[in-house]
A and B are shown apart, each in its own frame.
Chain A
Amino acid sequence: GEDVEQSLFLSVREGDSSVINCTYTDSSSTYLYWYKQEPGAGLQLLTYIFSNMDMKQDQRLTVLLNKKDKHLSLRIADTQTGDSAIYFCAESIGGSYIPTFGRGTSLIVHP
């Protein structure tokens, strides 16, 4: 299986919360990241969490980490149409700080 797995699609209504889930396999992950990619563009780092943290909140974004289950989630509150994009989960191991990416989750926000 892949090192980082995430579901491929998520569809939500504007104003609702979105939750994108991710699982990873390497327990020695040090940082876990969420990136956003808009069509035809590069990746934008949204947020990251250190592996000894359980939660991180940044405005509309909440990251939850369950290290025991190797599960990471990104919650976007009050989802807007501008949030439609592909969201990549990634992990880095040890001191490399080089992320290994999942395949990305396409978030579609409809009115």
Chain B
Amino acid sequence: GAVVSQHPSWVICKSGTSVKIECRSLDFQATTMFWYRQFPKQSLMLMATSNEGSKATYEQGVEKDKFLINHASLTLSTLTVTSAHPEDSSFYICSARRDTDTQYFGPGTRLTVL
């Protein structure tokens, strides 16, 4: 089956620093990657959709300057949380899709901002 990895699996950082999270499709080429945010006991909220080689499309209410997304290749997308603050602490999950195939989800990254 299709495998999606995320790195790191958890990260703790100080307020004001930036954190980069990587999402990789290991055995397929992902034309589209998605970034979600999940709060405790809440649903997954789609943050942005990115297609390889083009700018990401952000959902309403998501600050594009705060959450920088780069999809430089068909197997790698990165999410950078810039100037992180405690309210950015969350579980970030990526997913990858080839064409209109189903989405395959990564294991998630737990971000804690002190």
Contacts and interface: CB of A to CB of B under 8 A. Distances in A.
Given A98-B34, A98-B49, A43 B105 contact: yes
B103 to A, nearest CB: 7
B100 interface: yes
Interface string A80-111: 00000000100000010111111110000000
B43 A101 contact: yes
Contacts of B103: 45, 97-99
Contacts of B104: 45
Size category, B interface? 20 to 34
Interface residues of A, number: 21
B43 A88 contact: yes
Nearest to B94: A42
A50 interface: no
A10 to B, nearest CB: 14
B34 A8 contact: no
A44 B93 CA distance: 12
Contacts of B102: 45, 48, 97
Contacts of A104: 41, 43
Given A97-B97, A98-B34, A98-B49, A44 B105 contact: yes
Contacts of A35: 105
B54 interface: no
B3 to A, nearest CB: 11
Interface in A14-44: 35, 40-44
Interface stretch (B66-74, B82-90, B106-114): B106-114
Given A88-B43, A97-B97, A97-B103, 15 more contacts: A8-B41, A35-B105, A40-B110, A41-B107, A43-B44, A45-B105, A88-B44, A95-B100, A97-B100, A98-B34, A98-B46, A98-B103, A99-B103, A101-B44, A102-B43
